[in-house]
Structure 1
Amino acid sequence: MPGVVIVGAQWGERATTIVRFQGGNNAGHTIVRDGEEFKFHLIPSGILHEDKTCVIGNGVVVDPRVLLGEIDNLKRAGIGVNNLRLSANAHLIMPYHVLLDTAGETKLGKLSIGTTRRGIGPCYADKALRLGIRVQDLLDEKILRTKIRAALEPKQQALRELSVQRRKQLKEAGEEAKAAEGGAGVPDPRLDLHAMVEEHVNFGHRLEPHIADTARLCWDALEGEETVIFEGAQATLLDLDHGTYPFVTSSNPIAGAACVGAGVGPKDIDEVWGIAKAYATRVGAGPFPTELFDDIGEQMLQRGHEFGTTTGRRRRCGWMDLVALRYAVRLNRMDALAITKLDVLSGIGPLRLAVRYRSKEGAVLDTFPYHQSILHSATPEYEEVPGFDLDLTSCRQASDLPQEARDYLAFIADFVGVPVRLVGVGPDREQVIWLDS
């Protein structure tokens, strides 16, 4: 039966199995059900349906504290988690990963990437270096201790060096008091080998009922009468290889990565859907050609509640960038788009959509530039379409939408070459409109 990949098409169907295939708790999504808000960072959103199997795949990096916290929150809300499965091959975010991430960003100062400081990058780095700790290691204390010991020593040395550099920076900046904080040479209790092993063995006991061979679970579902949705985190323009490097995430959120991160083959994927807001947002540093610094950008921020689920940071807001969206559509070979938060644009008009860039030398750029220095200095050129004033939050079918809103969606679809099939007009799952084309 079908395998459907759902990916973010900007800067982050009914099914029986929902599989998260990459990223970690550096991204979040908010689900509103019957007026109640649920925030997830690791667990797939299908967990709210007890008849859906929710899978955290091998491509995800898992902070066990965060995962167990989400499980506990769901239980307190009366929602069971017996349908949650965690790949035995997923890598674990350890305490030293978070410390390294934070120290590294602090060292960079104004040149920082803008990471969430959740340890994602250092964890993926250890995975590539073959120093990673996997979920299955939680179930064998001897193996766990051996692996943590091997990974810990170089981390302690790196953190000591970063600490020395940071104190030097603070002293040079005249911040002697801050430089004296932390106690140079005093071991961080979070890096104690025995305490870390004991804590993670306990994590293993709690997570063991959920640990599984999730690739085989996906195979069985795909070979049966089930539809499997592969759910990405972040979005195309934050992809490690194809995004605005180095202002990207540490994994691959594009559709092609679903196979690797879930353990399925390319022929298992039948459809790819992209999700994009009706305007553009970005959190953290990096190029953003259509960013707005005026009242309209502030309206988008406030109306759209554009604050990061993970960090609470303000998201940068701007006009829809069709050059970037078309790039994402082609890169992922999307079959259709879902446009969310169309309601946020009510009362803002005329509406602008970026259809090309112009380089600082004056060259017209119709395609997303491969060289980031070009994108950093590019100026967007816009097409304007009429806005609409109607409150869209009560619309439930295409005919309820004002003609201007339908024209806006049609402009997007015509430009990027794939249909808009779904439109969101509010945060609740009932506030969606399915379109015929």
Structure 2
Amino acid sequence: MTAHAIVVDLGFGDAGKGVTVDLLCATGDYGAVVRANGGAQAAHNVVTPDRRHHTFSQFGAGTLAPNGPVPTHLSRFMVVDPFALAMEAAHLVSLGVADPLSLVTVDRRALISTPWHRAANRARERARGADRHGSCGMGVGETMAYALDHPDLAPTAGDCAVPSRLRRKLTALAEALGVQGPGGEGDPDLEECLEAYAAFAGRVRLVDETYLPRLLARAPVVFEGAQGVLLDEWHGFHPHTTWSTTTTANPLTLLHEAGRPGDAHRLGVLRTFTTRHGAGPLVTEDPVLCARLPDRHNRDHPWQGAFRVGHLDLVATRYALAATGGVDALVVTHADAPDRLGREPRWCTEYRDEAGTPLSIAPGPAGDLDRQAALTRRLAGARPVLAPIPEEPAEAISRALGTPLAAVFSGPTRADARVVTERGRAVPGP
């Protein structure tokens, strides 16, 4: 049986996880896409060869596979937003996917993100003023924080099938957060939420902890990560991070729990240049690149902030590889960027501080946020040492990182991919 695949972003997100998962599901025999972190704030863009476009948030990015949609499993590590899931399903219907919600299984233990969480998230971010963290404004972090403080009262997907229990938890949630609804329009409507969540429980398949081990034994799956390693809750540049483990740790944990440790091929995805949304370090940032490399699917966002672009950052990428424990192969996207740039592409080979002294970075133990905040302050004064990329960018990246290529994308669709590795390892060939 083909190994399970783990897709992880080696940057700040937006590297191309969606197109990678779409390619895998189009060319390989995968039984499901398993979402292993994040929530509705994910935005994985897939453009099919016939130019249909969908931004995947909670559905797996294999839903538009040419041989039929690949089912989605939302694991216990997901933060599920039933309202957002219904909206996403509606758009998939408009693209020709019949009954998308019937494709979804949800672990009953997965947390539910509600309008109360979203309102609290936005109020907290507004209160930060100029010190915003770069939140997506979807309430995912607030959901995680509330669950840590109130583990027995945090609403879960399983609660949606038990109206009395969910009512009790939502009432406690509203009282604890004490916020108004989105836009200051008053409190979210409890009855409306209860009705919507009951409909959610009736349309998807809620499963227990025995489901995923059986799924993994039956067929290979693709673990689709969200955000990027440089935004990881423990290894990212605090506080400009996500409340989510964005490394390969969650998929590896799920495999270990299922008795299948090591039974996966890890794919690291990165662009030929570096991007991030909103506040936080971007050492190689260059406004010229932002103007010359526009991204129609990633633009300035009212909550995340500006979409920023910089030169390919080998220092940060090596940091991400160390933080996630390495990968088995690389998927490089936007290989056509040098042609669009109109000049010789460059990459960052080293950081120096303001005095010109080399500055090195390395991940520390998970949980030391004071250390990560200190690292963020150091990066604020870092200066990139830039050099021309010596050859075709994808091949140069592979050699510089000592990691083989799996696939190279020179455009937005699976038809624009050049598969490098052999069938059965990373990205299967057509």
Alignment of 1:254-269 (within 5 A): 254-260=247-253, 264=258, 267=261, 269=263
Alignment of 1:56-205 (within 5 A): 56-80=74-98, 81=100, 82-129=102-149, 130=151, 131-156=153-178, 159=179, 188-190=186-188, 195-205=189-199
CA distance in 2, matches of 1:311, 1:344: 27
- 1:308-343 C-alpha deviation (Å, 9 max, x unpaired): 699795410010000111122232221111010111
- 1:171-212 C-alpha deviation (Å, 9 max, x unpaired): xxxxxxxxxx96xxxx9231xxxx414532333234424233
RMSD (CA atoms): 2.6
Does structure 1 conserve the Cα–Cα contact (< 8 Å) formed by 2:39 and 2:78? yes
CA distance in 2, matches of 1:197, 1:90: 22
Paired position in structure 1 for 2:266: 272
Paired position in structure 2 for 1:329: 321
Paired position in structure 1 for 2:356: 362
Q: For residues 424 and 89 of structure 1, do their structure 2 counterparts lie closer, same or farther at Cα, with a shift above 3 Å needed?
A: same
CA distance in 2, matches of 1:118, 1:267: 33
List runs of 5+ in structure 2 lacking aligned partners.
Answer: 14-23, 364-371, 423-430
Does structure 2 conserve the Cα–Cα contact (< 8 Å) formed by 1:60 and 1:261? no
Q: Which moved more, 1:77-86 or 1:372-381?
A: 77-86
TM-score w.r.t. the length of structure 1 is 0.82
Q: Does 1:47 align with 2:63?
A: yes
Aligned residues: 387
Aligned-pair distance for 1:234? 0.3
2:403 alignment partner, SS class: coil
Aligned mate of 2:211, from 193, 206, 217: 217
Aligned-pair distance for 1:44? 0.8
Q: Does 1:306 align with 2:306?
A: no
CA distance in 2, matches of 1:31, 1:135: 27
CA distance in 2, matches of 1:214, 1:343: 44
Q: For residues 384 and 76 of structure 1, do their structure 2 counterparts lie closer, same or farther at Cα, with a shift above 3 Å needed?
A: closer
Paired position in structure 1 for 2:383: 379
- 1:195-231 C-alpha deviation (Å, 9 max, x unpaired): 414532333234424233265333123223x211111
Aligned mate of 2:243, from 250, 253, 263: 250
Code of the aligned partner of 2:309? C
Does structure 1 conserve the Cα–Cα contact (< 8 Å) formed by 2:37 and 2:226? yes
Does structure 1 conserve the Cα–Cα contact (< 8 Å) formed by 2:45 and 2:297? no
Quick check: which has more Rg, 1 or 2? 1
Paired position in structure 1 for 2:404: 419
Q: Does 1:230 align with 2:223?
A: yes
Q: Does 1:29 align with 2:56?
A: no
Q: For residues 329 and 83 of structure 1, do their structure 2 counterparts lie closer, same or farther at Cα, with a shift above 3 Å needed?
A: same
Does structure 2 conserve the Cα–Cα contact (< 8 Å) formed by 1:323 and 1:368? no
Q: For residues 372 and 42 of structure 1, do their structure 2 counterparts lie closer, same or farther at Cα, with a shift above 3 Å needed?
A: same
Q: For residues 304 and 38 of structure 1, do their structure 2 counterparts lie closer, same or farther at Cα, with a shift above 3 Å needed?
A: closer
1:47 alignment partner, SS class: coil
Identity %: 26
Aligned-pair distance for 1:417? 1.7
CA distance in 1, matches of 2:41, 2:31: 26
